[in-house]
């Protein structure tokens, strides 16, 4: 009998399969209060353009039901609330209670509470009925999931036939000349900014490592197809630093 424990990666560390979720939770509990500021600083504000592009391609409209997974502080949910109108529904979901609280408070402050619900949930085992959502988005969250295949299958189950999946995530730069600069920024500048602004360099070192360990564009595309989705295409943004994968359930 094989008694070896199943392992996975937490950044560049090998950890027990069951421990990754707690370690990721510690990272986001630590940075939740400064999450929005750090997003602006570390991306020079470009994350707003990546998310705007996602929203524009979503084709979400009045009456739609939208699930914003790993929704964090609610950037996508904020826009989707306006698009679905009073007849629609947005669910802002995050596995991390601290991040979900940030998103909830921000949405309340903006008066976006008439058509939104907040659900703390694990993407691997979504607590929603089958064939429920018109669109599911996950922005900068999939790389932190322990079992990505289970998460993609769970998204497939809860999406309506004809519904759209959108995964916005850091990916693999397509320009070789960009790689040395990107590495210096990721492993030297980013942790220093994390220490200066959020008082936490280790969490941002994990961020850089988790990006390097995430599947590249074509590997993720294959995983999405394996989960049952069809017609998966991806858009490289900022030279492949980020990629938006779009697929459908037919």
pLDDT, one tens digit per residue, over 47-60 is 999 999 999 999 99
**Which domain CATH number covers 240?**
3.40.50.150
Residue 1 has pLDDT above 60, yes or no: no
Residue 5 has pLDDT above 90, yes or no: no
The rounded mean pLDDT for the chain is: 93
Give me the pLDDT at residue 209, please: 94
Give me the pLDDT at residue 32, please: 76
Residue 246 has pLDDT above 70, yes or no: yes
pLDDT band at 44 (very low <50, low <70, confident <90, very high): confident
Whether 165 is covered by a domain: the verdict is yes
Residue (of 196, 80, 210) closest to 136 by Cα position: 80
Give me the pLDDT at residue 2, please: 52
Whether 95 is covered by a domain: the verdict is yes
Give me the pLDDT at residue 3, please: 53
| Tally of structural domains, the chain | 1
Percent of the chain with pLDDT over 90: 76
pLDDT, one tens digit per residue, over 58-67 is 999 999 999 9
pLDDT top residue among 42 and 189: 189
111 CB contacts (<8 Å, ≥6 apart)?
A: none
Whether 38 is covered by a domain: the verdict is no
C-alpha distances in angstroms, 21 versus 57, 123, 161? 31, 11, 30
Give me the pLDDT at residue 172, please: 95
Whether 243 is covered by a domain: the verdict is yes
Give me the pLDDT at residue 36, please: 77
Quickly list DSSP for 114-145.
SSEEEEE--GGG--S-TT-EEEEEEES-GGG-
Region 179-205: mean pLDDT is: 89
CA separation for the pair 150, 32 (Å, rounded): 26
Give me the pLDDT at residue 77, please: 97
Whether 235 is covered by a domain: the verdict is yes
Whether 144 is covered by a domain: the verdict is yes
pLDDT band at 41 (very low <50, low <70, confident <90, very high): confident
Give me the pLDDT at residue 237, please: 97
Give me the pLDDT at residue 26, please: 86
CA separation for the pair 216, 128 (Å, rounded): 29
Whether 66 is covered by a domain: the verdict is yes
Whether 202 is covered by a domain: the verdict is no
Supply the pTM of this predicted model. 0.93
User: b/e string for 27-36 if b means 16 or more Cβ within 10 A?
Assistant: bbebbbebbb
pLDDT, one tens digit per residue, over 104-156 is 999 999 988 889 999 999 999 999 999 999 999 999 999 999 999 999 999 99
pLDDT top residue among 81 and 175: 81
Q: The domain containing residue 64 runs over which residues?
A: 14-20+48-173+216-248
């Amino acid at each position: 009998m094989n008694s070896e424990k199943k392992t996975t990666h937490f950044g560049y560390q090998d950890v027990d399969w069951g421990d990754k979720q707690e370690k990721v939770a510690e990272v986001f509990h630590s940075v939740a209060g400064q999450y929005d500021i750090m997003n602006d600083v570390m991306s020079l504000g470009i994350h707003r353009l990546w998310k705007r592009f996602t929203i524009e391609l979503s084709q979400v409209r009045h009456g739609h039901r939208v699930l914003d997974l790993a929704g964090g502080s609610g950037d996508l949910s904020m826009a989707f609330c306006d698009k679905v109108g009073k007849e629609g529904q947005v669910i802002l979901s995050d596995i991390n209670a601290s991040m979900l609280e940030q998103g909830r408070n921000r949405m309340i402050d903006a008066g976006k509470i008439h058509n939104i619900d907040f659900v703390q949930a694990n993407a691997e085992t979504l607590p929603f009925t089958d064939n429920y959502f018109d669109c599911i988005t996950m922005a900068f969250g999939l790389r932190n999931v322990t079992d990505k295949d289970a998460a993609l299958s769970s998204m497939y189950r809860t999406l309506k036939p004809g519904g759209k999946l959108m995964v916005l995530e850091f990916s693999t730069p397509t320009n070789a000349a960009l790689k040395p600069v990107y590495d210096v920024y990721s492993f030297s500048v980013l942790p220093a900014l994390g220490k200066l602004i959020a008082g936490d360099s280790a969490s941002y070192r994990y961020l850089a490592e988790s990006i390097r360990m995430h599947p590249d564009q074509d590997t993720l595309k294959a995983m999405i197809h394996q989960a049952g989705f069809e017609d998966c295409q991806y858009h490289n943004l900022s030279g492949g630093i980020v990629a938006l994968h779009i697929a459908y359930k037919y």
